Structure formats: C-alpha cells, structure tokens
Amino acid sequence: MPEPSRDLANYFVTAHAPSPGRRLANVVETKLPWLFLIYALPSVIVLSVIMAPFQVADELANIERADQISRGVMISPRLGGTIDGSWIAIGALYQNMPFHPEVTQTVALARQAGAIRWSGPKDHVNFQATAQYGPFLSLPQAFGIVFGRLAGLSLARTLLAARLINGFAACVVGFLALSICKRGRALIFVTLLLPMTLSQFSSASQDALLISLSILAVAIASRSEQSPSQTPSFVSAIFVATLVASSSLAIFG
C-alpha cells in the first residue's frame, strides 16, 4: 500500500503540471514575437535577393519616390519630379516581366541591370502612382538610396539595400506589435507571415510599413480594457493610424 505522504506529493505534482492547452497558451504569450523574427528575417533577406527588380506592385514608382525624398523633396508635385535618370533605364529592363511568367530573370539580364550606374538628376519624371503619398513610410528606402549613392553602388545593389532596410524596419514593427498585443496575437502572427506580406516586406514599397504599422495600431488597441477612447493605448493607436493615413492620402506640392 503506497505511503500517504507519497500519494499527496504525486497529487500536488499532477495538479500543478500545466495542461497542453496551457503550454500552447504560454508559447503564444511569450514566444511568438521571437518565432516571427526567426522566420521573417531570413525570409526577407532571401526574397530581397532572389526577387527580380520591380516585381512587387508599384515598386519602381516607390523607389523613384524614395529617390525624390532622398533629395530633400518631402512634398512632391502631382506627377512626380526630379530623380536620378538611371531608375528609368533599369526600370525599362524589367517593364515586360509583370504578368508574363514566360519572361524571367536571366544571368545576362541581371548583369545588364548591374552595370547601370548613377547618371545624375533628371527632371519631370512621371511617377504619379506614388508622388501623391507622404514621405514618412518611404524614409527607410530613402536611407538605402543615400547609402547606395554615397557608396557608389550600382542601382541594382542600391535597390537591394533599400529592400533590406525597409524589410528590417517592417519586421521590427511586426515584432513590436506581437510583443504588446493582448488579444488576437496568433492571428497577427499568421498575418505577418503570409507570403504576400513577406513579399511586400522584401520590396522597396511603402506597403511594407503600411501593413506592419496598421497591425501595430490593432495591437495597441487590443490592450484597452476600458472604454477605448479613455485609455493611453487609444491615443497611441490613433497616432500610428494617423502616421499610416498621412502616407496614404493625396498630398501635393
């Protein structure tokens, strides 16, 4: 017959052992932000390298807007403005690739793109698809362009630098959103790791930060326990939402 003290000890061990559901909840609570980074950062690096230039929607127009911002023009004329003329040249190499799966990146095409260097400012370049947007969500790409220009990189490598900086910024915002989110963390985790999300993170498009900051606003709002309009979280969510809106509304010089 077992000793009563041993039975009592076994009871307490069993009673305090976490259930599988509780262990899963603990993973969601503490590990998802890091799991996101572990998966997202390598994915963004690989996709930034292997995706042919300008194969994410409006990436060429976004990099042209970032070039304009890198020259100090925060508010653009309606149709575009002054950028380095070589963006037009490298864009022309890939203009027939979207929506044509039979047209692919080749070694010869990559070498041709890699040979394109900075040619100097060109006025009245039309990139009206992105000229209307505010400057804030294009700042990471603009830093990448400044770095590429000062380092004498080719435009193809400058585009890669802009992609990597933009992707890193978006991943950091996504990590922050997962870290502070109180409800719906698993849904945010899945949304951040969707293939479409990661392809945007790996591009020079402002949509990378548009997506991640929108998710951050939702994460901040999820922390509200009282009436949302009476909490500091609500004020923070409104600030982030305003930042996103300011880069999505039409603003012209």
Chunked in runs of 10, what are the mean pLDDT values of the chain (253 residues)? 55 57 66 94 97 94 97 92 96 92 92 96 94 92 97 97 98 95 90 95 96 91 64 69 69 58
Q: Are 60 and 98 in contact (CB under 8 A)?
A: no
Residue 34 structure tokens:
């890091």
pLDDT for the residue numbered 154: 97
Instruction: Quote the pLDDT of residue 177.
Output: 94
Please tell me the predicted confidence (pLDDT) of residue 21.
66
User: Within a 10 A sphere around the Cβ of 208, how many other Cβ atoms?
Assistant: 31
**Nearest to residue 51, comparing CAs of 228, 244, 199?**
199
Quote the pLDDT of residue 222.
Answer: 84
Q: Note the pLDDT of residue 99.
A: 87
DSSP bridge pairs for 84: 121
pLDDT of residue 1: 52
**Per-residue pLDDT, 202:** 97
- CB within 8 A of 240, min separation 6: which ones? 213, 216, 217, 220
* The predicted structure's pLDDT at residue 230: 52
What's residue 236's pLDDT? 73
* pTM of the predicted protein model: 0.84
What is the structure's pLDDT at 232? 63
CB count, 10 Å around CB of 178? 24
The predicted pLDDT at position 242 comes to 73
Residue 210 has what pLDDT? Answer: 93
